[in-house]
Structures are given as C-alpha cells and as structure tokens.
Amino acid sequence: SSVVPSLNNKVKNIVLELFQLEPIFINVSMKTNLNICIDNPLELGSDLLIAGVAVLNRPKDNYLIIDMGTATKFLVVKGNAFLGGAIAPGFMTSFESLFKEAELLNKIELVTPKKVVGSNTIECIQSGTILGCVSMIEKMVEKIKEEVGDLEVILTGGNAVFVKDSLNYEYCPNLLIEGIVEVYKLNK
C-alpha cells in the first residue's frame, strides 16, 4: 500500500531483487468489498482504502478510524460504505515543523504532561503538542458523530502511541496490516 508513487519503482525493484516476486500495489480498482461513496473514488489513497477494508469484518457496523501518520486522517465507514472523512496535519509533522520554524526552540522528548498549563518551555510544548492533539481528536470525533451518527472509534497509525493513553478509544496498531491482508485474500 503506497501513497508515495515516486518510490513505487524503487520498491518494486528491491522486492524483485530480494525475493524474486512481483509486488502488488493496492488500488481502488481491486476487489475490496468496500463501497467507496466519495466524489472521486480514484482520489482515495490506498492507506485509506485498506483502513476501510480492515473494519469490514469487525463485529460492529459503523466505524470512525483515526489513522495517525504523516497526516491525521478521520475515516468514516458505515456498513460496507466508505463515506469520506477529514485530514489534518499529522502529529509529528506539526511537531517537526515547530522546530524548523521557531529557531529559538530546541527539540524535546515527547511525553504526556501531567498538566495542561506548563511552567517551562518543555512542558508547554508537550502540552500543546500532545494534549492539543488529543483535544482536536476528541472535538473532531464529537462533530463527526453529530453529522453521521454513532460510530465505534478505532485509533491506529504510528503516531497513535503518543495519544492512545489519553483517549478512550480502541487502539489497533496493526489495523492497516489487517486491511492489506484482507485485500490480498480477496484478490489472489
């Protein structure tokens, strides 16, 4: 599942060289059992596609997937329909940008602060970054549920580890892998 097309040929060549196998790149024209209900299904990234596919075999019908990677993506799947979502700058993308743009700030370790109001620069950055992200997620979940109804919320993605303990949502670190496996099974 690639969302960096400029690297696809490099990945393909590496896989061919190391394993003598032709890689399969997931796309919306493959069998997925997911009904893509957005304006232009061809715009749907394979990461969003496999996240949607991953929840199809779960016990509930309606899901809000929060995938925290380079971007923080909010994905709505009701029944077998991918309805769309929202995309915000990713947690680490924003964090890294802060230090690039504010030269007086030094990079710090990210840990969840004990309080919102920090009393030094490190605590302030930790609060703004981690608790700010948690607050954004909670408010987005609230607004999405107001718009589309009740949803089970799943948190996934590499950066979810920073906020999972501050949120009361299911944490599923391997959700995208589950989606890749399911797409593979449906298309072999």
Catalytic positions, please? 47
CB atoms within 10 A of CB 76: 22
Task: Report whether 173 contacts 67 (CB < 8 A).
Answer: no
CB within 8 A of 19, min separation 6: which ones? none
In the DSSP assignment, the letter for residue 67 is E
Sheet holding 62-68, edge to edge: 35-36, 81-89, 71-78, 62-68, 152-156, 170-171
